[in-house]
Structure 1
């Protein structure tokens, strides 16, 4: 190749490099947005960590490939219309009141299939640009460079279209998350999460704060699984004074035990004194 021909290649090759770099930068923006969405699609923790969990959007999928990220989004945020199940979440048995919220959107089958096809095509395009582009184009000729420029221009348009598509999904997720945040920060949600009292005043006894407090008292004071009720009440009054029967529409602690159906109450004689004793209700033994 003559020096003149080599000089003629400089500008076309630099343009190919510029266009390829533009495509790869847009793909990186796409992948970053995917990671943020995947990190934000579910929120878990305790009441104490709730505010931070709603704000922080630190990507948790840095080591995932684009194909894996797409799979996480389609399987963990975008669902077919008839699907009602979500990811299972295992509660930590640490005695704290916890929560697990998951955002998601159901779409008709045809829209779901179209999105899945778009995602697959983008993954294929990304892999082609990253791994096979110079194999497919003769960048040692001006004509080869010009054809490569045409392909890269079309590729960027396609990547940009998909980025706009993903941005729309991300914006909708952000709006949904904002609505959830507003709900979570309301006194009604606090009452439900921490005390088990719904907005309509109904007490959900299995998650009621007073039930949890009584369970803790029994664990602290247990003798063969049973705790003296008066002693348990004193323990709750000392450690969680906000948990009172009146808060849950009850007059006395015995009323709480009866209404919650979470405990057994019996009278025993211990050290010569007859008193009421309480323990967590035992599961029924199958015949």
Structure 2
């Protein structure tokens, strides 16, 4: 074997090694993408949960990488303000969850572009690599190695990012599972006691008070307007209350007082410290 042939053989081996690493990493990325798509949301009757999950996983396994990407963008990955609520079911005992990651408009554009480009890169690699590169020369193999090194770097970074997102989803599901098994939820279903310390409306009231308080106290009517703008889905009736003042009173997480301002009675509130609220 001549020196040229030895160099070409070594160069081709390097190309094949990199090509194999790229394909395997793309497959790992695609498999993780399938797992996220099949598990990030669910709405089913309690008796049908396992069947629905199995059916969704089976259908997801049949989808192309392009179809998976289209489902991830806008369903799992969303821009801020475009989050979707779970579908309510009222005909039978059911469970529904929808895990999403929201990003600023700029970051969402970056994420969408980088991950959608992976579909084009993967298709080009699998279907057109030999057409695009001359592996019959050392120089051609070196160019191919550069292309593969760049592709491997991109898919590796994207796979790492996807793993972080999957970890956040798994963590959130564990929190949800722990909550479902918690004494607070059992107390809610058995005795009808609202777990005020973890519901969104309490968080919204506390957040509004921190934003609007003057001398520790915040006006209730101003806080209501602030919450309605940022948490439009939060309503007292969903928590068994007729008014916001009733929510503030029933939660036992806030102090409430009525003052006269310019001759008119006006309600003010402030968060209690955690030890007082839990008592």
Superposition TM-score tier, normalisation by shorter sequence:
0.5 to 0.7
TM-score calculated relative to the size of structure 1:
0.59
Mapped pair 1:147 → 2:143: yes
Q: Secondary structure at the match of 1:165?
A: helix
Q: Is the 8 A contact 2:40 2:99 kept in 1?
A: yes
Q: What does the per-residue CA deviation read over 1:103-158, in whole Å, with 9 as the maximum and x for residues that have no partner?
A: 11221111111110111221121111111111111001111011111211121111
CA RMSD of aligned residues (A): 3.3
Gap runs ≥5 in structure 2: 197-279
Given the alignment, which residue of 175, 179, 185 partners 2:181?
185
Which TM-score applies when normalising by structure 2?
0.61
Cα gap change, 1:131 to 1:190, in 2 (>3 Å): farther
Confirm or deny: 8 A CA contact 1:37 1:170 kept in the other structure. yes
Asked if structure 1 preserves the Cα contact closer than 8 Å seen for 2:43 and 2:95, the reply is: yes
Q: Per-residue CA shift, 1:194-244, capped at 9, x if unaligned?
A: 66935259xxxxxxxxxxxxxxxxxxxxxxxxxxxxxxxxxxxxxxxxxxx
In the TM superposition, residue 51 of structure 1 has moved relative to its aligned partner by: 9.1
Paired position in structure 1 for 2:192? 197
Change in 2 beyond 3 A, CA 1:180/1:64 = same
Does 2:22 match 1:23? yes
Separation (CA, whole Å) in 2 of partners of 1:200 and 1:161: 41
The verdict on how the C-alpha distance between 1:198 and 1:77 changes in structure 2, with shifts beyond 3 A counting, is farther
Aligned residue number for residue 12 of structure 1:
11
2:42 is matched with: 43
Residue 105 of structure 1: aligned partner: 101
**CA spacing shift, 1:168–1:177, aligned 2, 3 Å:** same
| Aligned equivalent of 1:124 | 120
What pairs up with 1:131-280 in 2 under 5 angstroms?
131-190=127-186, 197-200=192-195
Unaligned stretches of 5+ in structure 1? 202-287
**Cα gap change, 1:189/1:60 in structure 2, threshold over 3 Å: closer, same or farther?**
farther
Say which SS state the counterpart of residue 139 (structure 2) adopts. Answer: helix
Runs of 4+ aligned structure 1 residues displaced above 6 Å come to 49-54
Asked whether the equivalents of residues 76 and 86 of structure 1 are also in contact (C-alpha less than 8 Å), the reply is no
Change (3 A) 1:197 1:112: same
Contact 2:11 2:138 in 1 (8 A): yes
**Contact in 1 for aligned 2:184/2:195 (Cα 8 Å):** no
Distance 2:166 2:173 in 1: 10
Greater C-alpha radius of gyration = 1
Q: State the 1:84 CA deviation.
A: 3.6
